[in-house]
Amino acid sequence: MNQFLSKTDPEIYDLIEAETKRRREGLEMIPSENHTSRAVLEALGSILSDKYAEGYPNKRYYGGNQVIDRVENLVIERAKRAFGTPHANVQPYSGSPANFAVYLAACENGDKVMGQNLTDGGHLTHGAKVNASARFFQSIPYHLKEDGYLDMEEVRKLALEHKPKLIWCGATAYPREIPFEEFGKIADEVGAYLAADVAHIAGLIIAGSHKSPAPFVHIITTTTHKTLRGPRGGMIMVTEKGLQKDPELGQKIDRAVFPAGVQGGPHEHQIAAIGVALKEAMTPEFKEYGHQIVKNAKALASELLAQGLKLTSGGTENHLMVIDLTPFGKGMGVFMEEALDEAGITVNKNTIPQEPSSPFYPSGVRLGTPAITTRGMKEGEMKRIGGFIARIAQEIKTLHLPEDKEQRILYLKEFRANLASNVNVKEVRKEVQELCSSFPIP
């Protein structure tokens, strides 16, 4: 593998080999990451990368797209079948442009939109202040309750008060099932479009381990590289309910992606790889995989709680969980992320509901089970991993995040220097490597 690359560019080859070694010897537990199959990677690295195909099947701006049209049509049909929708667009380069296309199709500049608050586990493109979605549209965020669950009473109250044109549901760090039906009733009550961003749970939906939004929403967007286990990319589906609300909604979505949106020629090698992932996702083996992701997440959450760690909402119903580190102090996420990284466990620092610190120095870490489930790990391994994480937590519990910025820089520098020689962290890393040796990546 990579025989030509090793000769043409040994520097890049060596870096790819180093990354492969890192993944092979460690636990990838960022819930938005996974390990793709070799078949997906082969499609992604195919000759389809060379072809320009602006436009849509049978309506291209370039010649020579006879085969490309067949590829894209096949993937469209697989997307429609996988999600149970009458319309699909598989051209978005990633999730963010997919979501921006929804704004262009459903809204006018300045319209009111609603989405889950960013620090409550929401998504940047659902109206976060730092994102273009809040620059061009009036953003009204909704929040979680103190128990870590969505505040659906607030959602309805805000919707009735502001009458938004578009409501988003779906999140990046919410460990509970999304109540699509309840969102649908609220959207119908105020006449809003309802878009479900299922980027994190797309694979769970196809596997049947999370409820489908298709009967309750007008539009579904998703990335393709998380629980779906495909290449990095995006898709937009229009549901039957969406076409009933606006029979031209599918056409509007397509025009918003190209040519009216932020994209040019589609990445047909990426689209083909998405098609491979969709085919894999509609197999009995993938259904079993999707259910095992959730079983593993629940087992891991139970072990973390048993070890005395605190989780937002007290557990999980999907593929992820967020450890609330406020019992150790505020802003402790950076310490936990880096200590775990040194131990060979990859997670990401993350805000918690009612975050007492900031997104740059948040008070939690987010972790999940999609990638380690791909490697074949099950509940027994989750118990071991929970123990690893709890042991690392003990190494940071006496630390604190200085308020002064200059002191903070020096404190973090010293912390990182000490990590490299921490005996307990080294011991956990050795045990992680031993565990990983029994579960190869694809």
Residues, the chain:
442
Residue 296, φ and ψ in degrees, nearest 5? -65, -40
Q: In Å, how far are 20, 381, 416 from 258, measured between CA atoms? A: 36, 46, 46
Between CA 442 and CA 429 the distance in angstroms is: 21
Q: What is the pLDDT of residues 336-390, one digit of tens each?
A: 999 999 999 999 999 999 999 998 999 999 999 999 999 999 999 999 999 999 9
Using alpha carbons only, what angle is made at residue 202 by residues 93 and 278, rounded to the nearest 5 degrees? 70
226 is catalytic: yes
Neighbours of 163 (CB within 10 A): 11
Same domain, 135 and 255: yes
Q: Say which of 13, 52, 149, 411 is annotated catalytic.
A: 52
CB neighbours of 59 closer than 8 A, spacing ≥ 6? none
Q: Say which of 78, 226, 245, 298 is annotated catalytic.
A: 226
Which residue among 281, 304, 327 closes a domain? 281
194 within some domain: yes
Same domain, 245 and 366: no
Q: In Å, how far are 111, 155, 156, 350 from 161, measured between CA atoms? A: 14, 10, 8, 31
Same domain, 312 and 166: no
| DSSP string computed for 34-45 | ----HHHHHHHT
Q: What's the rounded mean pLDDT across residues 120-147?
A: 93
| pTM > 0.85 | yes
Q: What's the rounded mean pLDDT across residues 407-414?
A: 94
Which residue among 260, 281, 302 closes a domain? 281
Same domain, 272 and 391: no
369 within some domain: yes
Q: Tell me the CATH number at 252.
A: 3.40.640.10
Nearest C-alpha neighbor of 430 from the set 356, 347, 343: 343
Q: What's the rounded mean pLDDT across residues 236-253?
A: 98
Same domain, 277 and 318: no
50 is catalytic: no
Q: What is the pLDDT of residues 425-438, one digit of tens each?
A: 999 999 999 999 99
Which residues share a beta bridge with 358?
Answer: none
Determine the pLDDT at residue 40.
98
232 is catalytic: yes
pLDDT at 104 over 90: yes
Determine the pLDDT at residue 114.
98
- The SS3 call for residue 434 is helix
Q: What's the rounded mean pLDDT across residues 78-101?
A: 97
Q: Indicate the DSSP class of residue 438.
A: T
Q: Say which of 72, 120, 151, 197 is annotated catalytic.
A: 197
Same domain, 137 and 240: yes
Between CA 42 and CA 269 the distance in angstroms is: 9
Same domain, 250 and 341: no
Nearest C-alpha neighbor of 216 from the set 189, 248, 249, 240: 240
365 within some domain: yes
Are 222 and 233 in contact by the 8 Å Cβ rule? The answer is: no
Same domain, 188 and 306: no
Query: Omega of the bond prior to 259 within 30 degrees of 0, cis?
Result: yes
9 within some domain: no
**Dihedral angle computed from the Cα positions of residues 276, 280, 281 and 287, in that order, rounded to the nearest 10 degrees:** -170
**pLDDT above 90: percentage of residues in the chain:** 97
Nearest C-alpha neighbor of 126 from the set 107, 146, 148: 107
54 is catalytic: yes
149 within some domain: yes
Q: What is the pLDDT of residues 282-329, one digit of tens each?
A: 999 999 999 999 999 999 999 999 999 999 999 999 999 999 999 999
417 within some domain: yes
Same domain, 88 and 232: yes
Between CA 321 and CA 318 the distance in angstroms is: 8
Structural domain containing residue 363: 288-436
Same domain, 253 and 107: yes
Are 186 and 155 in contact by the 8 Å Cβ rule? The answer is: yes
pLDDT at 113 over 70: yes
Q: Indicate the DSSP class of residue 83.
A: H
Residue 219, φ and ψ in degrees, nearest 5? -140, 140
Q: Could you identify the residue written with the tokens 């629940």? A: 298
Q: Say which of 156, 232, 295, 426 is annotated catalytic.
A: 232
Which residues share a beta bridge with 196?
Answer: 169, 220
Neighbours of 409 (CB within 10 A): 11
Q: How many domains does the chain have?
A: 2
Kindly tell me the number of DSSP H helices and DSSP E strands found in the chain: 18, 15
Q: Tell me the CATH number at 333.
A: 3.90.1150.10
Same domain, 61 and 172: yes
Determine the pLDDT at residue 3.
80
pLDDT at 261 over 90: no
Q: How confident is the model at residue 262 (pLDDT cuts 50, 70, 90)?
A: confident
111 within some domain: yes
Q: Say which of 17, 25, 54, 69 is annotated catalytic.
A: 54
Determine the pLDDT at residue 356.
94
Q: Indicate the DSSP class of residue 327.
A: G
Between CA 183 and CA 167 the distance in angstroms is: 8
pLDDT at 1 over 80: no
CB neighbours of 41 closer than 8 A, spacing ≥ 6? 231, 273
Estimate to the nearest angstrom the gap between the alpha carbon of 76 and the chain centroid. 21
